[in-house]
């Protein structure tokens, strides 16, 4: 895959985040998959199965600096995931709709959808109960450029237990 949303350094940070968790052959939910760049990184670094949640619809302009539009990102995602047949469940719906219908318990949830405070806070609240003890809730864009992400994460979790791998945040579920 040619990465258009993540720099090579961000890809390395994501791989390091996966290594930090110590998970091998894990099942996960990715909330906000877009063109599948991070999905592919997860699949190539230990994820055996991914529930890929995204609406692939236009996003608020004040939220992100997209390099490609969602209607273009979805076919890119679909094409890339063909190489991982049987390992990805595409869930084209809102995070809330997906969590409401979701019956599984997974090892890891990665949140990288809407970066507005209330959306990140809600994603954390609705997905945390789907993570097994010993698993991790994680996400992207814990940085000064995304104050909503930082605020939601630090309000919910003990800062001493939040681990950062570049812009990725990791919190263990006990």
- The β-bridge partners of 89 are 51
**pLDDT attached to residue 6:** 72
CA proximity to 41, closest of 68, 75, 65, 10: 10
**pLDDT attached to residue 69:** 74
Could you count the other beta carbons within 10 Å of the beta carbon of residue 15?
16
What's the CATH superfamily of 8-172?
Vaccinia Virus protein VP39 (3.40.50.150)
**pLDDT attached to residue 71:** 77
Q: Is the dihedral of CA 86, 88, 93, 98 positive or negative?
A: positive
For the stretch 13-53, pLDDT in tens is 999 999 999 999 999 999 999 999 999 999 999 999 999 99
Intervals of the chain under pLDDT 70: 1-5, 59-67
**DSSP classification of residue 46:** T
Domain ranges of the chain: 8-172
Identify the burial level of 111 via C-beta atoms within 10 angstroms of its C-beta, where 0-12 means exposed, 13-18 middle and 19 or more buried.
buried
């Amino acid at each position: 895959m040619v990465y258009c949303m993540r720099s090579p350094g961000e890809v390395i940070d994501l791989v390091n985040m996966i290594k930090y968790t110590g998970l091998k052959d894990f099942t996960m939910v990715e909330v906000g998959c877009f063109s599948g760049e991070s999905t592919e990184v997860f699949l190539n670094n230990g994820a055996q199965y991914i529930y890929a949640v995204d609406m692939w619809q236009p996003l608020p302009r004040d939220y992100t600096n997209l390099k490609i539009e969602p209607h273009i990102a979805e076919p890119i995602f679909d094409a890339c995931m063909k190489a991982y047949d049987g390992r990805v469940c595409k869930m084209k719906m809102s995070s809330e709709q997906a969590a409401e219908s979701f019956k599984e318990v997974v090892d890891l949830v990665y949140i990288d959808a809407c970066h507005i405070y209330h959306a990140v806070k809600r994603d954390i609240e609705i997905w945390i109960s789907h993570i097994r003890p010993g698993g991790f809730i994680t996400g992207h864009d814990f940085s000064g450029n995304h104050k909503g992400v930082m605020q939601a994460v630090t309000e919910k979790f003990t800062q001493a237990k939040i681990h950062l791998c570049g812009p990725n945040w990791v919190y263990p579920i006990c």
